[in-house]
Structure 1
Amino acid sequence: MADKVYVDNVEATAAWNTVLFDRFSEYRHIFVTALRRFGDDALAGDPPNAGDRILDVGCGFGDTSRQLALIAGPDSHVTGIDAAERFIAAAVEEAEADAAENVAFRVADVQTEPLGGPYDYAFARMGTMFFANPVAAMRNVRKSLRPGGRLVMVVWRRKLDNEWMYRSEQVVDRHVPKPDAEASEALTCGPGPFSMANADTTGDILKAAGFDTISFRRIDIDMLVGGDPEEAVAVALALGPAAETVRLAGDDAERVRPLIERDLLALAGEYRTASGEVVAPASAWVVGARAPA
């Protein structure tokens, strides 16, 4: 797939506000269950303090924002920010239903818009990998923190260590010529989920953004990717590298979709557990940093 040059977050925001929101909502029971395990590990190792003012970057449905508010207690306040209006609408509705009084949400492009603050703590669970200009975005986060304020973010490690995403993309690649992302009219999600997989690259981004005391901790888990093999195939073709290739390839992919589904189903069988669920090894970084005191 030809690399695409992103000059702003407009296309990624449009994607997350339309097709990706719909697909994430449909398979939320899979994605949120999987991602929460990474977030729980990160928060157990470096939680906010009681009473902290907290920024939740790329908050999605707001479940992380409500979790942060519970950890930091009733005297804390959490602001969840996402560029996609539909995610924020869902987050507001669910927070109201949950009577979460110390949580607020707003639509904002983290790369370009004021984020409020000053915050004591910023958190992101898989919410920082899609920026067209990650240095500008992370600099904006750093400016929103008080001196000495902490950043904790979870990002995917390399694709090779996330077997289901890596191998499902390989299946699609066997059947579909690599599409040219620049030529396709399909929306993309920006640089993609593995843009911060390299620790050296991500460390350099944070240094350029003005952070110090940067650390990386690896998390490896067995991640649920489907309640059964059929659902795992549907999930792989909804979100992730395999799904993006299929969307960008358009008719070329649809013509061979039965073959793709057949081979993905065989792959899912390799990861099927005794309970029938499909579970595969997955790996992420917990990245820590501080705003200079």
Structure 2
Amino acid sequence: MFEKFCRFRHIMSLGLAGHSDELFRRKSFPAGARVLDIGFGFGDTTRLIAAQVAPNGEAVGVDGAQNFTDLATREAAEAGLNNASFFSADAQGDDLRGPYDYAFSRFGTMFFYLPGVALRNIRRALAPGGELTMIVWRKREDNPWVHEAERRVKQIVPVVPLEETDQVHCGPGPFSMSGPDMVSDMLRSAGYEHIAFARYDTDICIGRNLDEAVEFALALGPAGEVIRLAGEAGERLRGQVIAALRETLSPYQRADGIWAGSSTWFVTARNPAR
């Protein structure tokens, strides 16, 4: 998926930044703090955190993909950031090189196969009293930027249940942490306290034009996964799907691109002070 993410990097960075920028406006990390950025992707949030905690703080990014680690390391060096570093590991069970004062994740925790195990491992990497902040998507119906395309494709392409395929897929999916009651229970079971949720809604860019928005939906969104998992049947219907997606996404067209509504939870939880 690395090549696809790079192809749509401008959309990923511009679109997802709307939520993390708002979070940082509400509460930035203090100077001198050591912060873990979980699932850093291109490293843009890690670099922002490094600037917030400078000059004596440190931002450390962890991601499961070595390609992202290499890219983010190179770009941080080119930017002259000596307090940002990156490493590859599985946040579900590997050593996360703590302790950290804070842990942060923008859309990185929803894809854990074992979220309870991962959240406990992250808590172990936090110092006593340390805080975890996650940005996660709220329910599908409040995220038309991705749900409208998925819904339309499912009307055309036969849906293959994940348990019936051996193809690579996105696991639990982007909405696995949309329910605050479930996530609260999960965090409490992992040993966190002082759990809080704050909702944030904003339009995000999903393409500079209609063609790109359709390409993005088919390359990286749940709509594209429906086609991939359907195999030959999905490919035979691709032309029909493209036409349907153009019709579905065209109402979101503005002069500066395709913008659709999105909704997230800003989740905070604290590691108990010993």
TM-score by length of 1: 0.91
How many angstroms apart in 2 are the aligned matches of 1:79 and 1:277?
33
- The alignment status of 1:124 with 2:105, answered yes or no, reads yes
Give the letter aligned to residue 74 of structure 2: E
Residue number among 226, 230, 249 corresponding to 2:230 in the alignment: 249
Question: SS state of the match for residue 155, structure 2?
Answer: helix
**1:73, distance to aligned residue in structure 2 (A):** 1.4
1:6 aligns with: none
How many angstroms apart in 1 are the aligned matches of 2:92 and 2:160?
28
Check whether the contact 2:35–2:58 (CA below 8 A) recurs between aligned residues: yes
Give the letter aligned to residue 39 of structure 1: S
Check whether the contact 1:123–1:153 (CA below 8 A) recurs between aligned residues: yes
**1:276, distance to aligned residue in structure 2 (A):** 5.1
**1:164, distance to aligned residue in structure 2 (A):** 2.5
Residue number among 148, 160, 173 corresponding to 1:167 in the alignment: 148
1:178 aligns with: 159
- The alignment status of 1:112 with 2:93, answered yes or no, reads yes
Check whether the contact 2:53–2:59 (CA below 8 A) recurs between aligned residues: no
Q: How does 1:1-293 map onto structure 2 within 5 Å?
A: 20-273=1-254, 275=255, 277-293=257-273
Question: SS state of the match for residue 13, structure 2?
Answer: helix
Give the letter aligned to residue 268 of structure 2: G
Check whether the contact 2:145–2:204 (CA below 8 A) recurs between aligned residues: no
Question: SS state of the match for residue 219, structure 1?
Answer: strand
Question: SS state of the match for residue 186, structure 2?
Answer: helix
How many angstroms apart in 1 are the aligned matches of 2:25 and 2:132?
14
**1:47, distance to aligned residue in structure 2 (A):** 1.8
Give the letter aligned to residue 24 of structure 1: F
Query: Sequence identity of aligned pairs in percent?
Result: 42
Question: SS state of the match for residue 105, structure 2?
Answer: strand
Check whether the contact 2:61–2:85 (CA below 8 A) recurs between aligned residues: yes
How many angstroms apart in 2 are the aligned matches of 1:285 and 1:64?
17
List, as ranges, runs of 4+ consecutive aligned residues in structure 1 with deviation greater than 6 Å. Answer: none
**1:93, distance to aligned residue in structure 2 (A):** 1.2
1:3 aligns with: none
How many angstroms apart in 2 are the aligned matches of 1:72 and 1:94?
18
How many angstroms apart in 1 are the aligned matches of 2:197 and 2:139?
14
Question: SS state of the match for residue 219, structure 2?
Answer: coil
How many angstroms apart in 1 are the aligned matches of 2:179 and 2:23?
18
**1:185, distance to aligned residue in structure 2 (A):** 3.4
Check whether the contact 1:120–1:145 (CA below 8 A) recurs between aligned residues: yes
Aligned length: 273
Uncovered stretches (5+) of structure 1, i.e. residues with no partner: 1-19
Question: SS state of the match for residue 230, structure 1?
Answer: helix
Check whether the contact 1:46–1:152 (CA below 8 A) recurs between aligned residues: no
Give the letter aligned to residue 169 of structure 1: E
Say which is worse superposed, 179-188 or 113-122, in terms of deviation. 179-188
**1:32, distance to aligned residue in structure 2 (A):** 1.2
